[in-house]
């Protein structure tokens, strides 16, 4: 059993440790499937990338631990009533902040060992502050349950990064992939470029980003239609509606099949907004309805479509 770290939405933030990087890691390990033992979020970035790369996903049935979050909230409410309790909560908050600082610093595959050390430190500090139980969302019990469910599983297992130290302690047959010398390749670089374009910042060089997107041919994980749709977002950000619409319509016409599965919804939702911004309300409404008619669309696309049906999208370019 090879335990792979799940970073969730953080994959979208790290140019050298993104969904494309994970595809490359699995290819290097000659693994064509993963057991999914992590967040069931349907909009998880690897739910797009792995099937698009031909890597199968086998969902491990997981227990519902939502009640543990409720107990944690109740404990926080109780501790907040007392000075010593508030100090314990501050200690736990500092541990969480320190862990998040590590997770949001630049990461690469070679960072895995340091990430596991940071996870152990975080969980140890949390237990010291709040004790095992509601304060840790019953982490020990949850990991015991997860380890039992993974007993006998072989191949690659995707599990939350901060669960890996505990799983390694409980599963003698489990091991980590050797990532110390892994260098992200073209799949990773192309995925990073698209991720950057979907999350524009004021300090970005829009012209350089647009030129980079236009140069890319695309691949299975980040196909050409996605690069066009992402480039349209750059055009939209600078108010070039004609260019944005042309790119989105080209991307929509170039869609083939349903992989990556979030792409049709994202492309059509943005296209509906551009058509709205140009005053083409009837066509925009039909486009929004097309998003909602898809078998799957990410929540951000569905929300944009639902909002667009309620009121026309208006482009605000004020600084």
Is 318 within the bounds of a domain?
no
Q: Would you put residue 216 in left (φ > 0), alpha (ψ -120 to 50) or beta?
A: beta
**In a shared domain, residues 174 and 190:** no
**In a shared domain, residues 18 and 163:** yes
Domain boundary among 178, 196, 230: 178
**In a shared domain, residues 201 and 67:** no
Is 146 within the bounds of a domain?
yes
CB 288 within 8 A of CB 309: yes
- For the chain, what is the domain count? 2
Place of tokens 């019990």: 141
Q: What are phi and psi of 315, to 5 degrees?
A: -85, 125
Is 34 within the bounds of a domain?
yes
Closest by Cα among 229, 233, 287 to 262:
229
Closest by Cα among 74, 64, 134, 121 to 95:
121
Write down the pLDDT at residue 318: 55
Write down the pLDDT at residue 258: 79
**In a shared domain, residues 168 and 193:** no
Domain boundary among 178, 195, 223: 178
Between the CA of residue 220 and those of 55, 161, 242, 257, 258, what are the distances in Å?
11, 26, 28, 12, 12
Segments in the chain below pLDDT 50: none
Query: CATH number, domain at 303?
Result: 1.25.40.10
**Domain that residue 299 falls in:** 186-310
**In a shared domain, residues 29 and 85:** yes
- Whether this prediction's pTM lies above 0.85 is answered by yes
Q: What is the pLDDT of residues 53-103, one digit of tens each?
A: 999 999 999 999 999 999 999 999 999 999 999 999 999 999 999 999 999
Is 256 within the bounds of a domain?
yes
**In a shared domain, residues 200 and 296:** yes
**In a shared domain, residues 210 and 144:** no
Write down the pLDDT at residue 248: 97
Domain boundary among 137, 162, 178: 178
Write down the pLDDT at residue 202: 86
Write down the pLDDT at residue 272: 97
Write down the pLDDT at residue 269: 97
Write down the pLDDT at residue 319: 55
């Amino acid at each position: 059993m090879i335990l792979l770290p799940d970073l969730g939405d953080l994959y979208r933030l790290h140019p050298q440790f993104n969904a494309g990087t994970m595809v490359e890691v699995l290819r290097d390990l000659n693994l064509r499937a993963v057991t999914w033992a992590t967040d069931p979020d349907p909009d998880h970035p690897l739910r797009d990338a792995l099937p698009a790369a031909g890597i199968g996903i086998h969902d491990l049935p997981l227990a519902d631990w939502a009640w543990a979050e409720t107990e944690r909230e109740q404990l926080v409410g109780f501790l907040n009533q007392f000075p010593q309790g508030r100090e314990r909560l501050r200690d736990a908050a500092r541990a969480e902040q320190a862990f998040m600082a590590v997770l949001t610093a630049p990461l690469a595959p070679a960072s895995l060992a340091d990430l596991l050390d940071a996870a152990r430190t975080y969980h140890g500090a949390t237990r010291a502050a709040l004790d095992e139980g509601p304060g840790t969302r019953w982490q020990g019990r949850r990991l015991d349950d997860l380890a039992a469910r993974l007993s006998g599983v072989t191949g690659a297992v995707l599990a939350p990064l901060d669960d890996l130290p505990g799983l390694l302690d409980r599963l003698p047959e489990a091991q980590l992939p050797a990532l110390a010398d892994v260098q992200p390749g073209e799949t990773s670089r192309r995925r990073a470029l698209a991720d950057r374009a979907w999350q524009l910042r004021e300090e970005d060089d829009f012209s350089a980003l647009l030129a980079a997107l236009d140069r890319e041919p695309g691949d299975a994980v980040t196909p050409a239609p996605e690069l066009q749709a992402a480039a349209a977002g750059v055009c939209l950000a600078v108010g070039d509606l004609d260019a944005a619409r042309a790119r989105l319509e080209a991307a929509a016409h170039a869609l083939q099949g349903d992989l990556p599965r979030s792409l049709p919804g994202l492309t059509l939702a943005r296209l509906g907004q551009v058509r709205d911004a140009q005053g083409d309300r009837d066509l925009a409404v039909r486009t929004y309805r097309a998003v909602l008619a898809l078998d799957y669309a990410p929540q951000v696309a569905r929300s944009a479509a639902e909002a667009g049906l309620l009121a026309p999208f208006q482009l605000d370019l004020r600084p």
